[in-house]
Amino acid sequence: MAEAHQAVAFQFTVTPDGVDFRLSREALKHVYLSGINSWKKRLIRIKNGILRGVYPGSPTSWLVVVMATVGSSFCNVDVSLGLVSCIQRCLPQGCGPYQTPQTRALLSMAIFSTGVWVTGIFFFRQTLKLLLCYHGWMFELHGKTSNLTRIWAMCIRLLSSRHPMLYSFQTSLPKLPVPRVSATIQRYLESVRPLLDDEEYYRMELLAKEFQDKTAPRLQKYLVLKSWWASNYVSDWWEEYIYLRGRSPLMVNSNYYVMDLVLIKNTDVQAARLGNIIHAMIMYRRKLDREEIKPVMALGIVPMCSYQMERMFNTTRIPGKDTDVLQHLSDSRHVAVYHKGRFFKLWLYEGARLLKPQDLEMQFQRILDDPSPPQPGEEKLAALTAGGRVEWAQARQAFFSSGKNKAALEAIERAAFFVALDEESYCYDPEDEASLSLYGKALLHGNCYNRWFDKSFTLISFKNGQLGLNAEHAWADAPIIGHLWEFVLGTDSFHLGYTETGHCLGKPNPALAPPTRLQWDIPKQCQAVIESSYQVAKALADDVELYCFQFLPFGKGLIKKCRTSPDAFVQIALQLAHFRDRGKFCLTYEASMTRMFREGRTETVRSCTSESTAFVQAMTEGSYTKADLRDLFQKAAKKHQNMYRLAMTGAGIDRHLFCLYLVSKYLGVSSPFLAEVLSEPWRLSTSQIPQSQIRMFDPEQHPNHLGAGGGFGPVADDGYGVSYMIAGENTIFFHISSKFSSSETNAQRFGNHIRQALLDIADLFQVPKAYS
């Protein structure tokens, strides 16, 4: 085949007359361009490293300082107070470039200027770090900003006024502080008070006091020592022990999904949609590599940590018997594709040039049109990533450590990301409530063997052009993948576009070599392991009940009229709904971020508080006036907002206790208090889905450009997983998961309780009932 010859740089044959070499100019051209592109990336990284290293300074500011020093010297003004003369005397004597007095003077002034410049950068960075340690602004009432906060904001803007690159603020971010043990235990006891009767609470108080007095001081010293030494005292242990050491399947238990735009559709052509989306993804990766993406800023001035974005692409979770590892590559020039039981390798570049959307559409159409059948054992191979981690690690070592299986597996694991081409069609139909839930189920687990759950993310494409993501959780949290997804969907809709027939704009290059089939040699023993993993995964997937719905009566706009935060409003509604559903309260997990600190990830907000339970009980009794209920609600909302702010500012409960528990295990110290705390089940696990991290378009002008967010599986077998996205002024999307095997839970029933709880709370504020 002509394409196969183009892929080889040179060939040779041995003849009686000697060795006959045949060079492929096209292939050599591609090799040359690839090398040039690689060197460009290296130079860009070096340049960015320098610019990032001197931020908020710049080469221009260095030149200004040098010119100012030299200029003052010509004006007979010694701004160095004699330091330039000292430096000049210290320079080596003799021949060479330092021979003339003028050269020695200029060099001395350049050294002095560089020292002043570096000192200034250090001073500005330390000042910025001190300023970023101030979190008083978070606790001030909306519209009532103190003078101190105004001065602080002016200083922050002044020190970060120069256009920053993605990682410019990393070294200026403060470290996550270690809370005092007494404060953490006090907040912990306060959080469990509504869940325990007097006898149980008294027993827990005794355990906590014994721990605080006897065991905690020693553990805390080690934790403080780690906080001085490490960039973040939590994140590395959190990644290892919560994610990488987990031996249960990633599917449902750890991975989560993200939905496409659900109220509009740009095209029905599957290959065309993939062409635009994947081109946009690689554009994003290029910006990421060049650090051209702006850092996410709270209030537009407070930088968030960006370190999680480093492993978004070219990353795979490698299974191990005891613990997994994350393998991240600096670059990858292809994606791995799954379609109808076959695996393909699709190149994203032609030489140094990124393939255009129309070229990618053609390549994906070639895969869709390929009639070849799967090889023995190939169809369900990805079920290994959906089953137990130990079984996958053993199979990987036994059957994929050499030969063509190793080469094919490396093609998947070294890919930029994984692409799954499904034969089914899913989308959201507002007239069919079940459609959103079916769409979510397809994204969460598919058929258990058409997703590669180990990749940082799998891009899922349905036959009707609808898309979605399934993301592995260890490398980063949901806001990071959400940042990518917002950019990609915005670029697809407003920058790339389609023809009237739904195809990518422009003409493709038919001379491109088609995608390559990956070759496998999977023995019967391995096929048996694959089938076993598939059965484990299928049982898990079949047990998941997922109920997704769009809440249309109101959204953020109406909630703000109640003078409370939208998140607190929804969280209190969840408490009311859960009590109506189960007749009791439970330990509730809400994820908040700690990205205002270096390498920060998440912290837990314990949403079931004494204030929220008092409100729920009052609502249930039915004997309180609306004014009393409003007062109780406002107290609960205020408490929730304060807890959320404490969690964001490093004063949470659970990460501190988690790290103390790990230190106790390292030291061989037994703590009944920590053992009990860490074993408590989260029967209601919740998360708000971020949106509008990037302003790609005006939502008021394009109100239908809404994603539906995403979701995850239940954390406890007898509990609920709830994610929600407050999508603009007038709607909220909910994703509720539970397990069919639990007789106590029902996702749809809980969803109906959530609907009613939201309406009942809104009614307390006598909001006009246009939504009724």
Map tokens 């039915």 to a residue: 622
Give the Cα separation of 739 and 28 in Å (integer). 56
The count of other CB atoms within 10 Å of the CB of residue 724 is 24
pLDDT of 746: 97
Using the 8-state DSSP alphabet, how is residue 211 labeled?
I
Q: How far is CA 589 from CA 605, 653, 695, in A?
A: 6, 11, 30
pTM of the model: 0.90
pLDDT at 23: 55
CA distance 343 to 209: 58
Mean per-residue pLDDT pooled into runs of 10, the chain (772 residues): 40 53 58 68 77 78 84 79 79 64 80 86 89 90 86 89 86 95 97 95 96 95 95 95 95 96 92 96 95 90 94 96 95 96 95 92 97 96 96 96 95 97 94 94 97 98 96 96 94 92 93 94 96 97 97 90 91 97 96 95 96 96 91 96 95 96 94 94 93 77 86 95 91 96 96 96 73 42
Q: How far is CA 604 from the centre of its chain?
A: 16
At 439, is the secondary structure helix, strand, or coil? helix
Which strand (E) or helix (H) includes residue 524?
A: helix 524-542
Q: Distances in Å between the alpha carbon of 394 and those of 378, 406, 417, 643?
A: 18, 14, 24, 44
| CB contact set of 584 (below 8 Å; sequence gap of 6+) | none
pLDDT at 59: 81
In one-letter notation, the amino acid at residue 280 is: A
| 735, 687 Cβ separation under 8 angstroms | no
The residues pairing with 588 across neighbouring beta strands, listed in sequence order, are 684
Per DSSP, what are the bridge partners of residue 734?
A: 549, 724
- Output b/e per residue, 85-95; b: 16+ Cβ within 10 A: eebbeeeeeee
Choose among 360, 670, 387: nearest CA to 515.
360
Domain 552-649+681-692+699-771: CATH architecture, name and number where available:
2-Layer Sandwich (3.30)
Bridge partners, 346 (sequence order): 335
CA dist 410 and 416 (Å) reads: 12
| DSSP symbol at 240 | I
369 secondary structure, DSSP code: H
Rounded CA gap, 343 and 339, in Å? Answer: 7
Burial class (CB in 10 A: 0-12, 13-18, 19+), 315: buried
**C-alpha to C-alpha distance for 78 and 83, rounded to whole angstroms:** 9
CA 481 to chain CA centroid, nearest Å: 4
Residue type, 715: V
The number of CA neighbours under 13 Å toward the Cβ of 326 is 21
Catalytic residue among 30, 445, 473, 735: 473
The answer to whether 163 is a known catalytic residue is no
Greatest extent of the chain over all pairs of C-alpha atoms, in Å: 105
Residue 758 CB coordination number (10 Å):
25
Please check whether residue 200 is in contact with residue 258, taking contact to mean a CB–CB distance below 8 angstroms.
no
**Domain ranges in the chain?**
2-38, 59-133, 248-542, 552-649+681-692+699-771
607 and 574 in contact (C-beta within 8 Å)? yes
What pLDDT, on the 0 to 100 scale, is given for residue 9? 46
Beta bridge partners of 738: 545
Strand partners, 303: 297
Q: In this structure, is the dihedral angle defined by the CA atoms of residues 565, 566, 572 and 575, taken in order, positive or negative?
A: negative
CATH homologous superfamily, domain 248-542 = Choline/Carnitine o-acyltransferase, domain 2 (3.30.559.70)
Instruction: Identify which of 560, 583, 640 has the alpha carbon closest to the alpha carbon of residue 608.
Output: 640
| Cα radius of gyration rounded to whole Å, the chain | 29
Contact 326/244 with Cβ under 8 angstroms? yes
**Prior bond to 16 cis, omega within 30?**
no
Residue 721 DSSP SS3: strand
Pick from 517, 534, 521: which is nearest to 336 by CA? Answer: 517
- Per-residue burial over 199-229, b if 16 or more Cβ lie within 10 Å, else e, is eeeeebeebbeebbeebbeebbebbeebbee
Task: Report H helices in 92-234.
Answer: 101-132, 147-159, 181-192, 198-210, 216-229
Give the pairing type, strands 684-688 and 720-726: parallel
DSSP 492: I
The predicted structure's pLDDT at residue 84: 77
Give the three-state DSSP class for 374.
coil
Q: Which helix (H) or strand (E) holds 595?
A: none
Whether 552-649+681-692+699-771 and 248-542 are alike in CATH topology: the answer is yes
Which of 465, 420, 462, 277 is CA-nearest to residue 355? 277
Nearest to 336 by CA among 479, 478, 456, 496: 456
* Nearest one of 587, 546, 590, 591 to 571, comparing CA atoms: 590
Task: Give one DSSP letter per residue of 663-698, joined into a string.
Answer: HHHHHT---HHHHHHHH---SEEEEEPP--SS-SS-
